[in-house]
Chains A and B, each alone.
Chain A
Amino acid sequence: MSAQGTDKPPETIKRQTSKTPLYAAVAIVVVVIIVVAAGFYAGWFNSKSTTSGTTGCAPPSGGSIKGAGSTLVYPLMYQWETVYGGGTAVNYESVGSSAGITDITQKTVDFGASDAPLNSAQRTALPATAVTIPESAGGVVPIYNVPGVPTLNFNGTVLAEIYLGTVSNWNSTAIQTLNPGVTLPNAAISVVYRSDGSGTTFIWTSYLSLESASWESKVGKGTAVVWPVGSGQPKNAGVAGYVQKTPDTIGYVDLNYALNGGIQFGKVLNPAGHYILASVNNTASALKDANPTLPSGTGDWYNVSVLNAPGVGDYPITSLTYVFVYQDLSGAYGSSYTKTQAETLVDYLYWMVTTGQSYSAQLYYVPLPASIVAADETTIGSITFGGSAVPNSCGSSV
């Protein structure tokens, strides 16, 4: 009965409030307009401050090209597309190496980028012949969160055993032996890896395969593998964030990501017998000393490796990173692909491996050695449109 009595007040309240949505809507619209206007005023929506010039190339204006793939190389790609001028719009999406390969296979981009070269299955899946162009290089470093310890030493065997789960405690003899005098906690190791298909994972697992026979037989190398232990986190940021906030964890991230973010990482034993704390310089020297035999642009790059370079000061976990482009552009993309687009793409590729390399070091990437740049120039020169080579406006200098 009392319930019936209280039935009416809510109705009147409803009638009163029925006007407030209108006011609320007006208020929201006003606020949105103000925010958007402020955003325009502050320049939020100007896509990029195109400080053109400094390129040395004169690509046809108005061209627009699209790339996708590796997250490792994204900061560098972003820098490149920002400084590259000539009215060319370059759009690179950091969707991950595996997705980059998928995108180039499906011809939704002009170039795909990956830290892992194409494997045989991926090569056969391509609808047309593609060329492999190494455009930069970097390192991968072990990061960890063990409260109260200084920079730790690792070697490939121990890292493999940690990732296999056979070394599962921070104070195990395997780790203690590499770090004499360091007080390691009696705590279980939490292994962290990339949950997305990742070129960084490819580099990391390639290194572990090289160093540990049991890793190679049980797990192997790939952009995604069957991890014996651990938890997966997305992208460099996910792995680094999780490791930093969770004690007793170990993970791996790209060197440039760690250096940019001021993340502490461990030293790794190189083949010459020294524990090396990765840097741009010792990764660059590793790249030079590894001196890999490069296949032709259309060849099989899957086993190209610059891991475990022989030099005394070389950092062992180093890798090239690649872009993939169709060799016969008009043949691959069909008639909708314009000559302007082809010229723009070739110009940009040429600029990337030459002038673009000067932007590497400031972002903690490794500039390509001259031998690789020379090979790249040959490869880029082999790209054709409509049956003839695509000229580039950058001139032929290294």
Chain B
Amino acid sequence: MDGPTPSAPISPMPRHSPQWGDRIFAVLVGLGGVAVLVIVFAVMGVLFYQSADSFHAFGWQFLVNTRWDVRHNVYGVVPFVSSTLLTSAIALLIGFPIAIGSAIFLTTQAPRWMRGPIGSVIELLAAIPSVVYGFWGLYVLGPYMRTTVEPALYRYLGWTGAFSGTPTGTDVLTAGVILAIMVIPTIAAISRETLIAVPISQKEAALSLGATNWETTRVAIVPYARSGIFGATILGLGRALGETMAVTMTIGNHDAVPTSFFSQGQTIASLIANELTNSNGPLQYSAIIEAGLILLFISLGVNIAARLMLWKVLRVERGSTE
């Protein structure tokens, strides 16, 4: 009965249109994917092309030269790489414990009514524009560091040599502290997600064995989320490495390798912000671009590490549910 009915001209319509729709859809999303690739290659291409002058002039010397000398047109990237790594290290050293502490508190210790609001506040911290952090760092944190924190560090830890020099409140330490505040929300928010993803069975198993809250957290929860927390930390580090505005406003913009936490410095990002638009000639411009390329490689390395870690945590989760 159904066979001979003239449904032939009708049935192709619903069959064809979704195919066309699918094709258009595929082309559109494909364009999106290609666009991302094109953008990445365009950025890389321009960076390589524009840094060619500098690379030809200095070669690998660029990576080990500690002088950034506009007058003699000789450039080395060491001051900026060292400041970038130092401020990011300070940021992680201070920011990581606070971020992890707040993430663990929110997932295991905090009363239920408190979790939402504090979680939102952490996300709010991430939404504050960096120039506002910079402004706060310049006018509030910097003077406080100069008058209170740094003299105390100088008095008690000055003998180590790491806290030598004049406490000015405009130095790598202040920039590091500002960065710490900026990476806390990144690390805390992602760590919280990872900790929430820990199966309740893990916790129940530990508790049933008579573990205390501390032991449960230490033995059952944190190890399970370890890779995710590491990934979160790497993402935080990525933010610290590339942060520009807040660092420019607090680090002192001095083109030299920092010798103590009270030294003024210049990160790669702040170098670009300060000197690119008013560089003194094509070679300086090219050298700044090459420094940017190096920052890109550092960030790329960090991102690849984060990707590997996140991939690992996903694999662990899948394995446990099976």
Q: A262-305: contact bitstring with B at CB < 8 Å (1 yes, 0 no)?
A: 00000000000000000000000000000000000000000000
Q: Does B143 contact A (CB under 8 A)?
A: yes
Q: Give chain B residues whose Cβ lies under 8 Å from the Cβ of A143.
A: none
Q: Give chain B residues whose Cβ lies under 8 Å from the Cβ of A227.
A: 254-255
* Distance between Cα atoms of A231 and B253 in the complex (Å): 6
Q: A98-141: contact bitstring with B at CB < 8 Å (1 yes, 0 no)?
A: 11001000000000000000000110010000000000000000
With both chains docked as a complex, state the minimum distance between the C-beta of B92 and any C-beta of chain A, in angstroms. Answer: 24
Q: Does B71 contact A (CB under 8 A)?
A: yes
The stretch among B81-89, B96-104, B231-239, B279-287 that forms the contact with chain A is: B279-287
Q: Does B278 contact A (CB under 8 A)?
A: yes
Q: Are A98 and B169 in contact (CB under 8 A)?
A: no
* Distance between Cα atoms of A95 and B281 in the complex (Å): 15
Q: Does A222 contact B (CB under 8 A)?
A: yes
* Distance between Cα atoms of A215 and B168 in the complex (Å): 24
Given A227-B255, A232-B274, also A222-B280 (CB < 8 A)? yes
The stretch among B62-70, B124-132, B180-188, B298-306 that forms the contact with chain A is: B62-70
* Distance between Cα atoms of A200 and B88 in the complex (Å): 33
Interface residues of B in 271-312 (CB under 8 A from A): 274-275, 277-282
Q: Does A392 contact B (CB under 8 A)?
A: no
Q: Are A246 and B279 in contact (CB under 8 A)?
A: no
Q: Are B166 and A95 in contact (CB under 8 A)?
A: no
Q: B207-244: contact bitstring with A at CB < 8 Å (1 yes, 0 no)?
A: 00000000000000000000000000000000000000
Q: Are A231 and B280 in contact (CB under 8 A)?
A: no
Q: A186-219: contact bitstring with B at CB < 8 Å (1 yes, 0 no)?
A: 0010100001111000000000000000000001
Interface residues in A, total, Cβ within 8 A: 32
Q: Which residue of B lies closest to A232 (CB)?
A: B253
Q: Give chain B residues whose Cβ lies under 8 Å from the Cβ of A198.
A: 278
Given A230-B264, A233-B253, also A190-B280 (CB < 8 A)? no
Q: Does B170 contact A (CB under 8 A)?
A: yes
By secondary structure, the A interface counts as: loop
Interface residues of B in 254-271 (CB under 8 A from A): 254-256, 264, 266
Q: Does A245 contact B (CB under 8 A)?
A: yes
Q: Are B275 and A224 in contact (CB under 8 A)?
A: yes
Given A222-B71, A225-B70, also A125-B281 (CB < 8 A)? yes
* Distance between Cα atoms of A111 and B69 in the complex (Å): 28
Q: Does B25 contact A (CB under 8 A)?
A: no
Q: Are B166 and A246 in contact (CB under 8 A)?
A: no
With both chains docked as a complex, state the minimum distance between the C-beta of B227 and any C-beta of chain A, in angstroms. Answer: 24
Interface residues in B, total, Cβ within 8 A: 30
Q: Which residue of B lies closest to A188 (CB)?
A: B166
Q: B53-75: contact bitstring with A at CB < 8 Å (1 yes, 0 no)?
A: 00000000000000111110100
Q: Does A391 contact B (CB under 8 A)?
A: no
Q: Does A87 contact B (CB under 8 A)?
A: no
Given A195-B253, A222-B71, A246-B143, also A231-B168 (CB < 8 A)? yes
Residue B71 contacts which of A95, A97, A102, A220 (CB distance < 8 angstroms)? Answer: A220
With both chains docked as a complex, state the minimum distance between the C-beta of B13 and any C-beta of chain A, in angstroms. Answer: 35
Chain B CB within 10 A, most for which of A96, A195, A197, A223: A195
Given A125-B282, A226-B71, A246-B143, also A95-B253 (CB < 8 A)? no
Q: Does A242 contact B (CB under 8 A)?
A: yes
Q: Are B282 and A96 in contact (CB under 8 A)?
A: no
Q: Are B170 and A242 in contact (CB under 8 A)?
A: yes
Given A121-B281, A195-B253, also A225-B275 (CB < 8 A)? no
With both chains docked as a complex, state the minimum distance between the C-beta of A51 and any C-beta of chain B, in angstroms. Answer: 32
Q: Does A63 contact B (CB under 8 A)?
A: no
Q: Are A231 and B254 in contact (CB under 8 A)?
A: yes
Q: Are B264 and A231 in contact (CB under 8 A)?
A: yes
Q: Which residue of A lies closest to B67 (CB)?
A: A226
With both chains docked as a complex, state the minimum distance between the C-beta of A78 and any C-beta of chain B, in angstroms. Answer: 19
16 A-B residue pairs with Cβ-Cβ distance under 8 Å, sorted by A, are A121-B73, A121-B281, A125-B282, A190-B168, A196-B278, A197-B70, A219-B71, A222-B280, A224-B71, A225-B71, A226-B70, A231-B252, A231-B253, A231-B254, A234-B253, A246-B169
Binding site for A on B (CB under 8 A): 67-71, 73, 139, 143, 146, 166, 168-171, 248, 252-256, 264, 266, 274-275, 277-282
A-B CB proximity, top 8 nearest: A231-B252, A232-B253, A195-B253, A197-B278, A98-B278, A188-B166, A96-B278, A99-B278
* Other 8 A-B pairs with CB < 8 A, given A102-B278, A195-B274, A220-B71: A96-B277, A99-B277, A121-B73, A125-B281, A226-B68, A231-B264, A232-B253, A234-B248
